[in-house]
Each structure stands twice: as C-alpha cells, then as structure tokens.
A and B are shown apart, each in its own frame.
Chain A
Amino acid sequence: MIHPIPPGTRDVLPDEMRELRRLKHALLEVFLGRGYGEVATPAIEYDETMARGDGRAARSSYRFFDESGELLALRSDMTVPIARLVAGRYADGEPPHRLCYLASAYRAVRPQSGQLREFEQAGVELIGAPASEGTVEVIEVLEAALDAAGLRQAVIGLGDADLYRQLLEELGVEGEARDEVLASLATHDLVGLEEKLSEAGIGAERVETCVALTQLRGGKEVLEQARGLGGSAVERAISRVGETYEVLERRGAADRVQIDLGLLRDLGYYSGAILEVYDPALGYVLGGGGRYDGLMKRFGLDLSAAGFGLYLQRVHTAQLQEQGRDPS
C-alpha cells in the first residue's frame, strides 16, 4: 500500500543515511576542532522572530497559530534563530561567540522543481569578531569543511553586498527605480539591468560601467579592472574585498577564492562581504553566507557577525560526483 509524503520532502534510506552521517561527522569535526560549539534551536519560532531577520526574502513559508492564538513559524534558515539565541543569552558575554549547527530549515518550493521544502544545513556563525578578521576566519572554516567533504574542486565566490547599494546612491537612483535595479541584479538579468538603469536616467556610459561591473569575477586582477571603472562606491568596495583577499593570500587560503563583484545574495540581512560556494560537479549553488552586522542590531546587540551555511544534500551529491560515484 502506498502512503504518499508531501512533494519536496523525502525519506532517507540506510545506504544514503550512512554516507550522510559520515559527511555530517566530518563537517562537525571541522567546526568543533576550530572552537565552534554546536547548538540546536527549535524548528518552530515565533513568526515575529523570523520576520525580524528578513521580512521579505527569508520570510517563513509555513506559519500557523498555536492553541492560544500566537503566530508561529517553521524556521526558514538557521542564522536568524542563532542571532536570536546569542542576543538573548550572550549579551553580557565576552565576544566573539563561535557557534555551529547541523539542522533542517523549511522553505516553500515551486511545484515539480525538485527543490526541497525541508532541507538540512551545516554551518557556522562567528559573532563579535571585527570585519576583515572575522570574514577570513569564516572562509578558512568553510575551506576546511569543503576539504573534509572531499570537494577538491569547489570554489568560494567572494563579493560585497554593499557595493550596489552604495553605487546606486552615488548615482542618485532612489526609491522604486532603485528597488527595480536591485531586483535585476539579484536575478542577474543583465538585459533588464541595462533597461532599468537607462530608465532611471543615468548616462549610457555609466550604465555600461554598472553592467560591466557585474561581470567581473576571477583573481586579484578583477580589483584592478574594477578600479578602472571608477567611482567612490566601487573604490570602497574594492578596498573591503581587497583587504580580505590579501589577508587570505598571506595565510595561503586564497586559492579557492574567486573575487566576484556580480555577487548579490537574496537574503536582505547581509552587509559587507558575501560568499557563495560552487562545485563544477553540480549546477546549483552549494551554500553561501557573509557578514550580517545589521541582523545582530535588529536583535538589539551591536556586534559584527559572519557565517556560512552549506546545503547538506547538495554537498553530498557533489561529493558523489567528484568521487566518480554519480548516483544518477
């Protein structure tokens, strides 16, 4: 007899479970070995808590009332619950706080897309370490995690979340026009971006500059190319990214890092450095992260913060493919 489960959820059987368990152990060992304490938080939060993180993009897809009429939500990521936890419990503690997790989160899917409604993430949050230093530490933990997972070909994209906000401010693009431009950037619709920028009344040359900027990705040479495109917003972003990259270089940790000025994460709480993880074995992003100083402030704690989360299922798929044990 067949008893169905909702689309976007799945059972895991012993063979796969054994491999997933091994992967989780390997990742956890990296996190613990670097001083990150593992935490668990409830899958159900107050909707208000999740909305405080990001009222728009990461808004919980599954919300419901409890018996006394409170609006509850299934968490849509782990960063917001951990920000909540740190603000509530470690407000008087000595930063930095190093925490890690292996946990499920929940998001709506589009039908027949193969996306998961319930997905496991493995990640770390470093709260209360200053900008460049903290970002570098998080990238190093991420690199160690990718090594532990056996993803030798994985690449980490390093970008800057404030670049386009500041650039648009400099160009005097505001309000609705600004939101439309940012939306084109987020989906990387370059044709739309060009249109929206032109409509916003920016000269053709500046439009071309903006579009060119989004295509800059690669090694250190990218920073020089960007400098050639000019402007103080670009200059500031370059110096932020450059500083982080140089520290990584000095520590011999820059090899898998690709500077990417076209990067724009869709979660609204990022500011400063943003990260994305790719592997040639998979067409989908393996995970991401970045700095989220503003998020801590929204929970009443004035601390800078950074972290990343990896999608366990995707890491597992990439792992199989890199090892030549393609399950498909």
Chain B
Amino acid sequence: MSALKIAVPRGALFGGTLDVLDGAGIDTAELRGDSRSLIFETSGVTLVTVRPSDVPTYVEAGAADVGITGKDVLLEQSDRVVYELLDLGYGRCRMVLAARTGNDRLAEAQRRLGRLRIATKYPRIAERYFESTGRQVELVEVKGSVELAPLVGLGDGIVDLVATGRTLEENELEVREEIVECTARFVANRVSHKLRAAEIDELTAKLRQVSR
C-alpha cells in the first residue's frame, strides 16, 4: 500500500504542526528548510503542504488520508465530510465579534435599524452565530484585512479570528462578543479511516501523546 498522505497547513499553524509531527516521530527537517517543494517523503509518510482552508478539500476527496487544520476552517466548511479525530490544542485563538473602540455604532444599528452590517472572512460561522442569537444581519464577505472594513464604513463590526488581539488594538477595534474558541484539529478521510485503521490509529495515539 502507498505511504500515508498527511495534509500539513502552511501559515499560522505551520510551526506548531511541524512540532507535533516531530513529536510523533515524523522527521520534518526538510519542511523547515527553504524548499519550494509542496510534497515531501519522510519517515515512511508523504507530507503535502497546502493552505489551511484547503485541508478539508484534500482530505474529503481522499487526496490526503489525514490532515491538520484549524477548527475555524472546519466550522466554516462544516458541509465537508471529514472525521474530526483529535483536538491538538495548539494554534489557540478566538472567533469574535469586534467593533470600533468606544464607538456605539454596533448597538445603535441594532436599536435603530434592527439589523447589523458585518464584514467577515467567515460568512457561514457569522451567519449561524447571529441566527442563533436571534439577530438579523447583512454579511459582507471580504478575503483579507477585514479590520479595515469598519474604519472606512464597510460595516458596523467584524467577525474575525483573534490570537493576541494586537491587530485589533492597532486598528482601534475591540472584542464585543466571543463566538467560539478554535484550536488545531486532526482530521481523517472517511474511507482511509476505515481501510487504513491501524496506521491512522497509531498516528492518532502518538499525536494525542504529544499534544497532552
């Protein structure tokens, strides 16, 4: 049988992911170098490096047997069929509703119009959140630098992921409500989880050990 394929997220989770893989006995030295490769054969497995938001896509299709990505990605793509096996604990951050510091435009919009205008990169998480809290909302989807939106009048507030809160602070924004806490998760393809049970269980056990 071919080597187990593991989808590794580039970006904010990259370092933490390499650390836990090392801890699980998978040598990641090559990935730490400045190689431009996207695929690495190491320690009997194949590591494929992809954008975090692409991890569910690769894993759902079986192009990777297992993978690591943030809970925020899994929540935003909740219709993707992947098995969530483990909370790895690192990459901790919060999905929040934020608005301009000391400005009551958010409350004012809610009171006067009964409707909020919110910019976000996570429209589905935001939609579910406002629906579950009984508020009507107009969502504006942007792809990057969502902090900018309320400063130039694109929306009363934002829904975004916050790690340290420094970016919010620098843009004179503050957290108004916390929606959900997110960490890195270990996920598996449904068919691989059945047909490569022993390998996946072994890796899961090692990752659990490392992330304790």
Question: Which A residues form the contact surface with B (CB < 8 A)?
Answer: 110, 113, 155, 157, 187-192, 215, 217-218, 258, 260, 276, 278-280, 282-285
* A280 in contact with B195 given A110-B79, A191-B185, A285-B190 (CB within 8 Å): yes
One digit per residue, 1 when the CB lies within 8 angstroms of any chain A CB and 0 when it does not, for chain B 57-85 equals 00011110000000000000001010111
Within the complex, what minimum Cβ distance (angstroms) separates B94 from chain A?
17
Question: Which B residues form the contact surface with A (CB < 8 A)?
Answer: 1, 60-63, 79, 81, 83-87, 185, 189-195, 197, 201
Within the complex, what minimum Cβ distance (angstroms) separates B210 from chain A?
16
Within the complex, what minimum Cβ distance (angstroms) separates B107 from chain A?
31
User: Which residues of A lie under 8 Å from residue B86 when comparing CB positions?
Assistant: 190-191
Whether the Cβ atoms of B189 and A155 lie closer than 8 Å is no
Whether the Cβ atoms of A282 and B194 lie closer than 8 Å is no
User: Which residues of B lie under 8 Å from residue A191 when comparing CB positions?
Assistant: 84-87, 185
Within the complex, what minimum Cβ distance (angstroms) separates B182 from chain A?
11
B71's nearest neighbour on chain A, judged by CB, is: A191
Whether the Cβ atoms of A283 and B194 lie closer than 8 Å is no
Whether the Cβ atoms of A280 and B1 lie closer than 8 Å is yes
Whether the Cβ atoms of A284 and B194 lie closer than 8 Å is no
* A278 in contact with B84 given A188-B190, A283-B62, A284-B62 (CB within 8 Å): no
* A258 in contact with B83 given A191-B185, A283-B189 (CB within 8 Å): no
* A190 in contact with B85 given A258-B194, A278-B194, A285-B190 (CB within 8 Å): yes
Whether the Cβ atoms of B195 and A283 lie closer than 8 Å is no
B58's nearest neighbour on chain A, judged by CB, is: A283
Query: What are 27 inter-chain pairs, A to B, with CB distance below 8 A?
Result: A113-B79, A155-B195, A157-B194, A187-B81, A188-B190, A189-B83, A189-B84, A190-B84, A190-B86, A192-B84, A215-B201, A276-B194, A278-B191, A278-B194, A280-B1, A282-B62, A282-B191, A283-B62, A283-B63, A283-B189, A283-B191, A284-B61, A284-B62, A284-B190, A284-B191, A285-B190, A285-B191
